[in-house]
Amino acid sequence: MSVVVLVAVAAAGVLLGIAAGYWLPPNGRLAARNRPRPVRRILLPFTGQAISRRAFEAAVRLAKAENAIVMPAFLARVPMSLPLDSALPVQCASGMPLLEAIEQRLSSQGVPVDSRIGRGRSARDALRNLLAQEHFDRIIVSADEDPRAGLGYEDLKWLLERVPAEIMILRPAPQDTRRISTKAVGGHF
Amino acid sequence: MAAGVGKTFRMLLEGQAELEAGRDVVIGLLETHGRKETAQLAEGLSSVPRRRVGYREAVLEEMDLPEILRRAPELCLIDELAHTNAPGVERTKRYEDVEEVLAAGIDVLSTLNVQHLESLNDHITELSGIRVRETIPDAILGRADEVVLIDVTPETLLDRLRAGKVYPVERIDSALNNFFRIENLAALREVALRQVAEEVGAKRLTTELVGSREESLAADAPQAVGERLLALVEPYPGTQRLVRRAWRSAQRLGAELDLLWVRAPGQRLSDDEERSLVALRQLASVLGAKMVEEESDDLAAAVVDFASQRGSTYVLLGRSRPSRGIARLRVPLPQRLMQRLPGVDVRIVADRPLRQNGEKL
């Protein structure tokens, strides 16, 4: 009798262990589904090989305050002589390291990140295509003195007039030259 | 690499050296672009005069192929291999003329900018925004006994351009504002260095194998050393990082990149996952990677089948999500892949570093 009870107890223990193993999250960490999920989406578009540190910091502050996910987006330009769906390895060679650098910085500050790539005939066209695909609650844009480094005045005007999202345009002071560039990539990439 | 680096100059130097060595050398076609130094270097070398070809109301000058064949020198110098002949000439392209000269037993020295190679045309267009119309098939370069790279730094080339050594004064500003930008030249230089390195590597391998018992392998050798990467992806934000890493590795290896998502039968995606999937497809397209979606309930088997079909040499995957319950007893995916794909490297792309409190960043 006692043997049967012992076997039954042991079997129940094993079943309980398996059930616990299935339901309990591994390594005692909070299960992903139980973590608070970011609710707002902040787009941080860029075109060149560096972005303004001020724009980046604004994105971090807002993301922390609003429990938002930051979505850095590299805007690639397709030359007129190439089809719109062309691969763009040359631009990606500079855009991908910067995307990685931004992701690393955001992650190191505990901000959730989900990158994007937009593609179009111009930076504005790439942004337009991106906005047509997804909804973003807020867009943070750096207005740069150098039109080749980012979105120009006409692009910003278009953004304000046409895009149904909160737009934050930051124009760093001329002396504020702090930027995040591809050189900021940490480790092997 | 680009106009002005010294291709024609080098071709003439080689021609002069061959002449001094006692060979019968002839200039079949020379484009000096008005450069005095180039014209001076051609002195002493006999040349075949150009022939005049009437086209509509214009008279154009072209290389005189029949006269070169009649003259039959030992070595012929023919500038600008990618040139398109005027209508009315026997052949459309100059490289076709060169093939005929070679077929007649005449050696040829010629010149070519890297952007004129067919396979690099889109790449260069993306780089410079300028579509190069005159291209030659890559196989023509592959048939050359020797490829010599004329390399100068972008800064030196720009100095030459500003000094009027490349184009006439009236064209300098236009050139500086268009093709001759330092970033264009630096990238072109990189492309040229890579291209020549690949040519040299492929030739070395073929030369080593030809004549040995492994002769039959020679034809396959360039393909055999080619790398093909396969990255296993899933529609969630972290995958983009894996794809970017895989792409960088593929770039360094000069390899093709495939992305494979093995979807469980009947798997339904959440809105977030749908968005991630769209972003993933977009990323693959921009990077020039091929993304494939397959439905299977056996992930390892699907990956093995795909890798075998595509001839993948590397498989890259992210860190597996922690298993639950009885699944913890199963052999992890990387080990299963290593067992079932002998000779294929399996690389696990590391997660981001952990913060002090152990939470993943």
Alpha carbon distance B76, B97 (integer Å): 12
Residues of B in contact with A132 (CB under 8 A): none
Q: Is residue B359 domain-resident?
A: no
> How many structural domains are present in chain A?
2
Asked if residue B64 has pLDDT above 90, the reply is yes
From the list B70, B69, B102, B96, the residue with the least C-alpha distance to B81 is B96
Distance from CA of A11 to the nearest CA of B (A): 15
Residue B242 and residue B202 share a domain = no
User: What is the model's pLDDT at position B45?
Assistant: 94
Q: What are the C-alpha distances in Å from B343 to residues B307, B313, B317, B320?
A: 11, 7, 17, 22
Find the mean pLDDT for residues A70-98.
Answer: 88
Asked if residue A28 has pLDDT above 80, the reply is no
Residues of B in contact with A112 (CB under 8 A): 237
Tell me which of B183, B244, B357 to substitute to probe the interface with A (most A C-beta atoms closer than 10 Å): B244
Residue A99 and residue A31 share a domain = no
A152: CATH: 3.40.50.620
Beta-carbon contacts of residue A123 (< 8 Å; ≥ 6 apart): A45, A47, A75, A77, A150, A151, A155
Residue A110 and residue A176 share a domain = yes
Asked if residue A46 has pLDDT above 70, the reply is yes
Burial letters B102-122, b for 16+ CB under 10 A, else e: eeeebebbbbbbbbbbeebbb
CB contact under 8 A, B240 and A91: no
Domain finish residue from B154, B184, B218: B218
Residue A60's pLDDT band (cuts 50, 70, 90): very high
Asked if residue B163 has pLDDT above 50, the reply is yes
Distance from CA of A134 to the nearest CA of B (A): 8
Domain finish residue from B218, B245, B265: B218
Residue B172 and residue B24 share a domain = yes
CB contact under 8 A, B283 and A119: no
Find the mean pLDDT for residues A43-60.
Answer: 87
Residue A31 and residue A57 share a domain = no
Residue A6 and residue A69 share a domain = no
The answer to whether A29 faces chain B, any CB pair under 8 Å, is: yes
Residue A88 and residue A24 share a domain = no
Name the residue in chain B with its Cα closest to that of A41: B272
Find the mean pLDDT for residues B52-60.
Answer: 83
More confident residue, B320 or B297: B297
Alpha carbon distance B301, B215 (integer Å): 35
Residue B173 and residue B237 share a domain = no
Q: Is residue B361 domain-resident?
A: no
Alpha carbon distance A95, B280 (integer Å): 16
Q: Is residue A189 domain-resident?
A: no
The answer to whether B38 faces chain A, any CB pair under 8 Å, is: no
Residue B194 and residue B129 share a domain = yes
Alpha carbon distance A93, B192 (integer Å): 16
Residue B217's pLDDT band (cuts 50, 70, 90): very low
Q: Is residue B2 domain-resident?
A: no
More confident residue, A116 or B203: A116
Q: What is the pLDDT of residues A120-171, one digit of tens each?
A: 988 889 999 999 988 899 999 887 655 555 677 888 888 898 888 899 988 7
More confident residue, B313 or B139: B313
Residue B206 and residue B247 share a domain = no
B161: CATH: 3.40.50.300
Asked if residue A26 has pLDDT above 60, the reply is no
Distance from CA of B22 to the nearest CA of A (A): 46
pTM (2 decimals)?
0.61
Among partner residues B131, B237, B287, which is closest to A87 by beta-carbon distance? B287
User: What is the model's pLDDT at position B42?
Assistant: 92
Q: Is residue B354 domain-resident?
A: no
Residue B240 and residue B115 share a domain = no
Residue B175 and residue B47 share a domain = yes
More confident residue, B316 or B140: B316
Q: Report whether A115 contacts A133 (CB < 8 A).
A: no
Residue B221's pLDDT band (cuts 50, 70, 90): very low
Q: Is residue B101 domain-resident?
A: yes
Residue A116 and residue A42 share a domain = yes
Would you state the structure tokens that stand for residue B10, as one six-digit string?
């080098």
Residue B69 and residue B21 share a domain = yes
Distance from CA of B239 to the nearest CA of A (A): 10
**B40 sits in which H/E element:** helix B36-41
User: What is the model's pLDDT at position A50?
Assistant: 79
> How many structural domains are present in chain B?
2
CB contact under 8 A, B279 and A26: no
Q: What is the pLDDT of residues A30-39, one digit of tens each?
A: 444 555 556 7
The answer to whether A177 faces chain B, any CB pair under 8 Å, is: no
Residue A157 and residue A71 share a domain = yes
Residue B241 and residue B178 share a domain = no
**Which residues 37-96 of A are in CB contact (within 8 Å) with B?**
76, 78-82, 85-93, 96
Domain finish residue from B166, B200, B218: B218
The length of chain A in residues reads 189
What angle do helix axes B182-209 and B154-162 make, rounded to 10 degrees? 130
If you average pLDDT over every residue of chain B, what do you get? 83
User: What is the model's pLDDT at position B93?
Assistant: 93
CB contact under 8 A, B244 and A116: no
Range of the domain at A6: 1-35
Residue A165 and residue A111 share a domain = yes
Range of the domain at B275: 226-320+327-349
User: What is the model's pLDDT at position A1?
Assistant: 58
Find the mean pLDDT for residues B126-131.
Answer: 74
Across B69-219, the runs of DSSP E, i.e. the strands, are 75-78, 107-110
Q: Is residue B126 domain-resident?
A: yes
Q: Report whether B128 contacts B179 (CB < 8 A).
A: yes
Residue B255 and residue B155 share a domain = no
Q: Is residue B355 domain-resident?
A: no
B241: CATH: 3.40.50.620
ipTM (interface pTM): 0.75
Find the mean pLDDT for residues B189-194.
Answer: 79
**Which residues 41-60 of B are in CB contact (within 8 Å) with A?**
none
CB contact under 8 A, A81 and B276: no
Among partner residues B126, B325, B358, which is closest to A88 by beta-carbon distance? B126
